Structure formats: C-alpha cells, structure tokens
Chain A
Amino acid sequence: MRRVRAEVLNAKRVGAYHSITIVAPEVAERVRPGQFVSVAMPQGRTFLLRRHFSIHQASRRGGWAGTLEFVFDPRGGRGSSWLAEVKAHQFLDVIGPLGKAFAYPAKLSTCLLVAEGHGSAPMHFLGQELRAHGKRVDMLVGAETQELVFKPIEGKRLAQTIVIATEDGSLGETGSVADLLTQVVEATGAQVIYAAAGRRTLRRISEFCSERQIPSQVAVEEEMACGFGLCFTCTVPVIRKDGSGYDNLRACIDGPVFNPARILWDRWMGEQPGMIATPPEGFPVVKTWPG
C-alpha cells in the first residue's frame, strides 16, 4: 500500500451516483478488482475519518496511464457530500491499494457477477479482468429503483448476458438479485459466483452457493475506522480453514473479499450476540477456492 497526494482528473455524476477519477500511478499499477482506496477528509472538519471506496476502473496504460476511478452515493453522509463537491485539479490524500482482491478460478470458466446498487462498480473492473483471463462473464445487478442501477448500458457491453432487477419494477425484473439467483444460474450455467451487496443479500447468495456447491467470493461492507489494519473495528467472524473455531478478521486487511461459506453469518448479522462457543460437532471445514 502507498500513500499518495493524488490529483483529481475528473469528477462527475453517473446517474444517481458520483464518480471521481484520480491520477495515482503508484496505486493504479498494483490495484486488483475488489481492492479499495482510503481517502482523507479535509482537516478542521468535524468528520475525521477517512472514507473507503472500491475501485471501479484502473487504467494502467494508454493516454491516461495511472488513473483510478471510484464511485459513491453522494447521499451517503457528510464525507460523501463533501467529496461530491470536489472538482478536477484538486488534490486528495489517498492510501491504496488496500485489502485482498477477488481470486480468479484456474479451471472453471463461467462467472456470474452479482451486485446491488453501486456494488456494481467494482464488478465492472472484475468483469474486465475475468474476460482478459478468458472467462465468460454474466451479470445480475439490482437496486431499489431504475435510477439506482449503476451503469446498465456498460454492463450489457461487458457481460455475455445481464439480468437487471429493481425492487419497484421500474427497470427489468421486479424483486431483489437474490430472488433471481436460481433462474440466472440455471440460464447461464454459472460455475463461479462473485457478489458485492448488503449483508442480507450476501447471506442469501452464500446459502444458495453452499446448497449448490458453487464456489463463490463476496466483498463485504463493515464499519471501518482506519482502513489499513490499525483499529480492529471492521471485523468479520470467519471460520478457520481447519474448522477449529473462528476468528474476527479485519475486513480491511483479510477482506473485504471473503469466501462466504466461511463467514459465521448468524454472528455477523448480530443474531448471536455475546461470545459464542464452538458447536459440539465443530465448525464445517470449507473447501478452499478452486485452484
């Protein structure tokens, strides 16, 4: 990870969202899909903490070599409102790339990318990389309303097939991405599933994948104070590889990408407060990611 003073190349609206492109060659040349950057807020404001954004695009070559783009919802809070006012040629204090990236399967070749809202942003980056590795990419994206579906046109260009779902039915199918999972997996023959969404949806995707024995990786969201491993606030309960128990792992260092079959969902969703004991039959041993 590097800390850089990065110039803003471009700041613009993308539908309901806001996108910022920065010049950060030291970060751009290393970043992989699923990783994120941490952006400092201005000094002297009452909101102190850095904000964290998954990478939507990284350009390593071409006219604008060394740029990174991230996307956020400008209604997300004080930090997001401030960032939405940032203009081209301003400078941002950026740390990255942070976190673990999505892994690519060695043998399996049909990949389904599932996302809600601007969770689609990192999926575009992932889709491009998977295609560059010769994989087939399909997408299942959703949001509450049509306006909140992130870049559907670009998604259509990127994916072999794309299914869009909105809660209010204003675009595509009516419902959530989790409702359409069975249908889409059967239509595409997906062998691997990647997802970025809220925890309820991720949990449903995780249960679906466990049931069908489909390898999957999910990018989680958790309240994160620092973003680079110092504070231990963004932990996720993850079952150890050998099933001997679980550890609270930092989403910023050991995630944000996890194998969802190893997340202790009841615990993470707050349905099992307090310390939990190892179940008498032990935790399941989860097969590792395919090759």
Chain B
Amino acid sequence: MNPHLDVDLNGLRFPQPVLSASGCLATGHDVPGLVDLHRLGGVVTRSLTFGPSKGWATPRASETPSGLLTAVGYQNPGVLAFLEEDLPSLRKAEVPVVASVAGGSLGEYVNVASSLHLKPGVVALEVCVSYPDDEREGEPFYVRPERLTEVVGAVARLSRVPVFAKLPPLLPGLVETAQACVRAGAFGLTLIDQVPALAVDPHRLRTRTATAVGGLSGPAIKPLALAAVYRVGRALPNVPVMGVGGIATAEDAIEFLLAGAWAVQVGTALLVDPSVHVDIAQGILGYLREKGFASPGELRGRVRVPDAGDGSS
C-alpha cells in the first residue's frame, strides 16, 4: 500500500498535514527563498489587524530552556496591504492560505474577516483571541469566555470559508470553551496559542523582553499542547483540530495526530530550520508506510491510554 499525505478536515483539504503557524513565516511577499512554500500544507498568516500595526518595542525575543519567548506585539502591514502585496506571492507559490484574524474590537475582527474571506487563495480563517481588547484595557479577548465566543461567532457568521478558533491552553475550561466556539459557528479549533510567560535577567534586574509578559513557544510547550489536543479531540471527535506547539520532528507531528489532531502547524522550528516542514512530511510518510496506514487521517486519535480512564475532564 502506498500511503498519501493529503488530509481532509471535513471537506477542507490540505495537500499535506504540516502548515506553518501564525507569525513564523514573515508576511508573504518577503518569505525568503530558503522556505519551500509549495511544500507546506498551508500557510497560516501573521495575525492581521485592519490597519498596520507597528508592534511593541525591542527586545522582543529571549531564548528559554527548550523554548522561545517572544513579545512582538502583532506587527503586521494591515489587511489591505496584505491583500495587495502578500497574498499574490502566496498564491503564486500555490499554497493554501489560512488568514489569521485579529483586532482590538468586535468591529475590527469583522472588518478584517470581511476583507479576507472571499479572496481567492484564502481557504480558511483562524481567529486569534489573544489580541488585546480595547474595551478591557488591553486584556486579551480570551480572558472572558463570552467575549471570546462573541468574536469567534461574529467571524464565523460572516465567513464563507471555514473558521478556526485558536485557543491558549490555560483557560479554566478549555473543553467547554472549545464547545462554545463550535456552538458559535467555528468549523474547527487550533490548539494551542503561545503560553503567557516571563523571562528575567538577574544581572540587569529587568525582564528580557520589553513588554514584560510574552508568549512561550517551542518544545517546552509541546506536552501542554498535546494535552489540549487530546482533551478537546476526545470531547469533540468530529470537529477538526489543528495541533500546534513545539513540533520540530516527524515524531512530534505524529504524536499530535495520534492525540487527536487532524493536521499540524510548525512555528518555532521553522525559525531554526527553514525546511523542517519538508522533513516532517517525509517522516510522516515513512511512518505511515512502516505501520501500514494509508493516510495521516488514519492516525487521528488512535493513541491508547494504558489505564482505563481517558484522562479527559
């Protein structure tokens, strides 16, 4: 049997299961030639706001044990410049585009999503709910569940393409929030967003990023991400989940598929190895062949739990 890499997320198809995660692949027109875009399953864009955003002051990055802490502040050219300058480059590379939608208000999310959802090449939207809410003095939208589902629902109602809600792992009720997103109209979930984290420089008595609390990514957060994918996957077995968090090898990606992901995204690993997605896809194919599976979809949720309880809550 010759396995294939296509994945089908309830009708949304990607040529292979490894996409680039939001914020880890320049903007579009400026993707360096080192990254073979065509061999990505899809590109999730930088989170786009309506107008351009300059982001926060530097330093914006700090290496932490097995991780990367960043505090970029959603620097992006704004949705209109993205459509003019970046989307054409991504379309030329023939890579499916998942546009990440952000905003400081419900209205901004709606405006950004409206500008994107009908554009050729955009196959789905991903709603970033970590963006600071103007109404709540910069508190992220995800802090209040009703605010979170309000923006996800507003984007889902208008969009003609599937909408994914990207959730951080440390919500009090992750599974309940995921269910609420689906009730509000989300087609699927992306798990997980960066984890709020802090790095301190004891010699200079200051934080290592200019905006004190940043977001942690990389292998350090992989177990958190796997738990989130597993719990949501068990509770909502028919809802597509994209797994993201610390994936750097084919084995990592396979772990996510086994835990319940329908596809995966790589972020931090691309910053280290710009062709990591090619190696991961090859590795998945080798694994499928070795184990006698026909497609990545056959791995979904197959992880067995030695103990009888399924650990989900």
Contacts and interface: CB of A to CB of B under 8 A. Distances in A.
A121 interface: no
Given A232-B75, A233-B58, A236-B58, A253 B272 contact: no
B63 A231 contact: no
Contacts of A1: 32-34
A232 B210 contact: no
A48 B268 CA distance: 9
Contacts of B72: 231-233
A40 interface: yes
B277 to A, nearest CB: 12
Could you tell me the dominant secondary structure of chain B's interface residues?
loop
Interface in B17-66: 23-26, 30-35, 46, 54-55, 57-63, 65-66
A232 B219 contact: no
A224 B72 CA distance: 12
Given A228-B32, A230-B24, A235 B58 contact: yes
Which bucket holds chain B's interface residue count? Answer: 35 or more
Given A230-B24, A230-B26, A235-B75, A46 B65 contact: yes
Interface string A223-259: 1111011111111110000000011100001000000
A93 B30 CA distance: 22
A40 B272 CA distance: 7
Nearest to A93: B273
A115 to B, nearest CB: 22
A119 B23 CA distance: 31
B227 interface: no
Given A49-B272, A231-B61, A267-B57, A225 B26 contact: no
Nearest to A231: B271
Contacts of B275: 3
Contacts of A134: none
B66 A46 contact: yes
B32 to A, nearest CB: 5
B218 interface: yes
B210 A235 contact: no
Interface string B60-94: 11110111101010010000000000000000000
Contacts of A187: none
Nearest to B70: A233
Contacts of B272: 40-41, 48-50, 226
A26 interface: no
Nearest to A225: B61
A234 B61 contact: yes
Contact of B67 (A48, A267, A275): A48
B26 A223 contact: no
Contacts of B33: 1
Contacts of B61: 223-225, 231, 233-234
A47 B67 CA distance: 8
A47 B63 contact: yes
B30 A48 contact: no
Contacts of A267: 57
A233 to B, nearest CB: 4
Contacts of B55: 232, 235, 248
B274 interface: yes
Contact of B60 (A47, A50, A233): A233
Given A48-B68, A247-B54, A248-B55, A232 B30 contact: no
10 contacts: A48-B67, A48-B268, A225-B70, A226-B270, A230-B24, A232-B26, A233-B58, A235-B75, A270-B210, A273-B210
Query: Across chains A and B, which 10 residue pairs bring their CB atoms closest together, nearest first?
Result: A233-B61, A226-B271, A223-B59, A233-B60, A225-B61, A46-B65, A46-B66, A223-B61, A232-B75, A229-B26
